[in-house]
Structure 1
């Protein structure tokens, strides 16, 4: 795809709504593409690198026991957080859904594992998750060798953001995440 001929700043652009995005998806409009809806725009998802896949697999394994405690642990599945955003966090944790045709509209925890998408994860996605009231948003910055922890969402932003070095553990809903393992050191 080439560069836009007309800049969005010059237009009154209407973003794609979640239900429109899903209708297009079900018609096969994005077949063979990894995309997600962010702020009304269809965004291509970064290709899966081996380090990112490793961390996502290990997160899933470490958090799996939450499923026996009434939670769903979802891996790269959509969360319908607003009319114009349906991100697919690398991992999200929700109260258990009652039916297979349900899609969560918020989460208790959203996790992104970043290799090439750090700017998107720390800005746009942080704002979207904060606006949805997700109380804990974690960004595993694999290149920066840090865990960025976002808490206390208020007015579309997180008021408590801290960085952790990948040593020891980090508590997520009573599960002590093994950070050295998740950063490939364990």
Structure 2
């Protein structure tokens, strides 16, 4: 006889309780009920710092905090919130939730996780209502806009030599500065 064993699906509350209790021995995030490792590396780490610096603008906050999105607790590489934004709630004792109107941009720097960032993470961030989502790879910057319940209606690709609009700052950033060409 063959038995099928269903994968366990974590709730956000269960994941936070386990995280607060120190149950994980490495960086992880909750994605659609699954615990995913947070992948890091030299290029990734350097780009996250570069992107964070490029996004600094008077009054906004650039952060790398977990950004609860629906039932998921992803760790975007950085995200930007509007001046004066206050959390809309909390999960557990240390994790803030945010209103979509206060989140200006969500960014994933993508090396090994490009397909998941372009599909699964785009679906999660779009359905949460985050207005703009960037995926920065070694070759391109993918800008997602027009969030809806299954992701984003629009995705534009920017390559070396292009500039990417940053609506909250009314500026553009060269793709070459973002990807490190």
Smaller-chain TM-score range? Answer: 0.7 to 0.9
Q: CA deviation at 1:168?
A: 4.1
Q: Is the alpha carbon distance of 1:168 and 1:162 closer, same or farther for their aligned partners in structure 2, counting shifts above 3 Å?
A: closer
Distance 2:18 2:95 in 1: 18
Q: Is the alpha carbon distance of 1:97 and 1:37 closer, same or farther for their aligned partners in structure 2, counting shifts above 3 Å?
A: same
- Alpha-carbon RMSD across the aligned residues, in angstroms, is 2.3
Distance 2:41 2:178 in 1: 14
Distance 2:121 2:3 in 1: 25
| SS of residue in 2 equivalent to 1:57 | helix
Give the equivalent residue in structure 1 for 2:156: 162
| SS of residue in 2 equivalent to 1:79 | coil
**Aligned positions, number:** 169
Distance 2:3 2:49 in 1: 41
| SS of residue in 2 equivalent to 1:52 | helix
Determine if the alignment matches structure 1 residue 28 to structure 2 residue 28.
Answer: no
Q: CA deviation at 1:177?
A: 2.0
Distance 1:72 1:6 in 2: 50
Give the equivalent residue in structure 2 for 1:92: 79
Q: CA deviation at 1:97?
A: 4.3
Determine if the alignment matches structure 1 residue 124 to structure 2 residue 111.
Answer: no
Residues 32-91 of structure 1: per-residue CA shift (max 9 Å, x gap): x01000001111111x222111211111111122xx32x22112x201111x20101011
